[in-house]
Structures are given as C-alpha cells and as structure tokens.
Amino acid sequence: MAGDLEIERILVVTAHPDDVDFGTAGSVAVWTDQGIQVSYCIVTDGEAGGSDPSVTRSDMATIRRAEQTAAAECVGVTDLFFLGHPDGRVQASIALRCDISRVIRQVRPQRVVCQSPQRNFQRIYASHPDHLAAAEAALCAVYPDARNAFAHPELLDDEGLEPWSVPEVWMMAASDANVHVDTTEVIDRKIKALLCHTSQIADADAMDNLIRQWGASVAKSRGLADDSYAEAFQRIDTA
C-alpha cells in the first residue's frame, strides 16, 4: 500500500456540500498538515438542502458553495471544483463521468476519496441516492475513463487533458473498512469545518456530540486507544 509519503495530491469527490466534512474532513486536515495538496470535487451545489421556503434555490446554491469553501479552508483546502449537477437528481451518467474525469486529469491525484456506491442498510443516511450515483460515477471515472485517451475524447482533443491513472481509491462510509486515519489531533478542526454549513445545521452542540461519538466508535472498531478519534475507509487498489 502506498504510504502517505508517496502521495502528493488527493482528490475528494462527493455529491453534496457538507458530505466531505462528515466523511473525511479530519483525514483531510491530517493530510494537508503533511503537505499533501487536497482538492474537492463537489457534484451538486446542494440547492435542495435546508428547510426555509423563503430562500430561493439559486440563493441556496450560492450559500452552500460559500459554506463549503469556508469549511475547506478550516482543513487546509483551497482548490474546489463545483460541477453543478442537479441536487436530488444525480445520475452516474456519461456526462457526470466526463466531468469527474476532467477534474481527475486536471488534478492528477495519487488517491481519490469518494463515497460508496453500495447501499448501507445499517445507516440509511449514508446511502442518499445522490451519494450512490456520485460514487459510481467517480469509480467509473477512475477506471476506465480518466486513464483511457479514447474515453471522452474531447478532454484530450479539445482541452489537451492527458489521461491520468489513479492508483488507489479510498471509499468513505464503506461496510468493509480496511484503513483508517487517526483524527484525534484534528477533531476540533473537523467540527469547525462542519459548523461552517450553517444553512444545514439546527443544533451545533448536537452536531459536536454526534461527530465525537462517530469518531470514537470508529477509533474503537479500529483498535485505537481510548479517547481517540478516527475516520475509516475501504481502500481499493486501482493501479
């Protein structure tokens, strides 16, 4: 397995603003502290989020892009791509595969972090249909699209984007976790990032508690010491 020292660039692909912060912002903080460049590719602007009917959906999209940009800064990320696919109607279409392949060829990451395309029956919120579709499209972009010069030929012919082969994928919210990142030192920054999503959070204290509970239970399941926090992933060799 590639150690973090061999990793220079990581691309995180998620369906909605805030997904990255629930799933992986602690690991992102650890990685950027190590000098790794982390970029975010967010498939939708999250315009179907929130519960205030007086906010127009286009205003909500603007709000959520700004919230995600602020959250990213908390964990050392300033390179964000918003693909603008419709929130609540994401499909693993050829168009989405092409859009994610474009970002992969631009960023040239050694690791892609994405959601899981498999429904998690233990935790249904992890399996929003947009998450499943965004994850499926991301995996198709990793293999074969981004590495195949003849897939989405406009990327090379019109935009000059050379094929790029991503050697590994880490899936969040996977039922078969096989790697983890100890996030004990950065848990406060993860929570700070999540709390940037103010349009989506009704109770900041409850969110703080939830994230600590999650982090602690993942740490326990991975055999870490008491009082530790962690995020776990399923690593897939895509070399």
Q: Site residues (CB under 5 A) for Zn ion?
A: 15-16, 19
Nearer to Zn ion, 155 or 173 (CB): 173
Nearer to Zn ion, 7 or 80 (CB): 80
* Whole-number Å distance between alpha carbons of 54 and 39: 33
Give the nearest distance from C-beta 156 to Zn ion in angstroms: 32
Give the nearest distance from C-beta 20 to Zn ion in angstroms: 9
149 and 24 Cβ atoms separated by less than 8 Å = no
* Whole-number Å distance between alpha carbons of 98 and 104: 10
Give the nearest distance from C-beta 124 to Zn ion in angstroms: 12
CA 119 vs. chain centroid, Å, equals 17
**Minimal CA–CA distance to 194: which of 29, 6, 84?**
29
Nearer to Zn ion, 19 or 136 (CB): 19
Give the nearest distance from C-beta 108 to Zn ion in angstroms: 26
Tokens encoding 79: 């390179």
* Whole-number Å distance between alpha carbons of 28 and 87: 24
Nearer to Zn ion, 50 or 144 (CB): 50
Output the residue with the shortest Cβ distance to Zn ion: 16
Tokens encoding 149: 């010069």
Give the nearest distance from C-beta 84 to Zn ion in angstroms: 16
CA distances for 234 relative to 63, 83, 152, 176, angstroms:
32, 25, 28, 6
